[in-house]
């Protein structure tokens, strides 16, 4: 039996570096976003200039596109006043959202969260991605900037 695209994924890593001081928000400014896969899970981590905010609503999210453009996902974690309130994967084509039960870790200047690759079916071993942070519903920072995308795995 042929394994699914998600289960045959190999490990890899991609890091997006972001310029400090380019955030539209005084609350969150990304310095780096990182995706790391061990072949079964995807770890997304977001590093910031200042400590993780403990007030307001903050969403840390990744948008990922398969290399052939047939699949698009958004996965992210939302905090309200420093407490995790949502952790999800949304498939853009269907709009289907799945809640993820692995909790995020937010400490000091980093937020990290794990996603099962089975929830990212069809994304493949190589894809494009970008990360962003929104504060109270308004985009604060993006990595890389503008409409540029990073590649997974990184070069």
Confidence of residue 155 (pLDDT cuts 50, 70, 90): low
Residue 51 pLDDT: 94
Average pLDDT over all residues of the chain: 91
SS3 41: strand
Q: Give the other-Cβ count within 10 Å of 104's Cβ.
A: 21
Confidence of residue 8 (pLDDT cuts 50, 70, 90): very low
Structure tokens, 33: 């976003």
Structure tokens, 139: 């985009």
* Nearest of 1, 64, 58 to residue 37 by alpha carbon: 64
Is the overall model pTM greater than 0.85, yes or no? yes
């Amino acid at each position: 039996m042929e394994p699914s695209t998600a289960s045959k994924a190999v490990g890899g890593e991609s890091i997006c570096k972001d310029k400090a001081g380019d955030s539209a928000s005084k609350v969150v400014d990304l310095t780096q976003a990182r995706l790391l896969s061990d072949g079964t899970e995807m770890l997304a981590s977001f590093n910031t200039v200042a400590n993780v905010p403990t007030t307001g609503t903050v969403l840390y999210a990744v948008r990922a596109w398969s290399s052939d453009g047939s699949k698009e996902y958004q996965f992210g974690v939302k905090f309200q006043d420093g407490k995790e309130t949502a952790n999800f994967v949304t498939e853009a084509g269907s709009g289907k959202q799945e809640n993820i039960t692995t909790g995020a870790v937010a400490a000091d200047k980093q937020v990290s969260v794990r996603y099962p690759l089975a929830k990212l079916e069809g994304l493949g071993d190589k894809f494009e991605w970008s990360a962003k942070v929104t504060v109270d519903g308004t985009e604060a920072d993006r990595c890389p900037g503008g409409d540029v995308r990073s590649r997974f795995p990184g070069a």
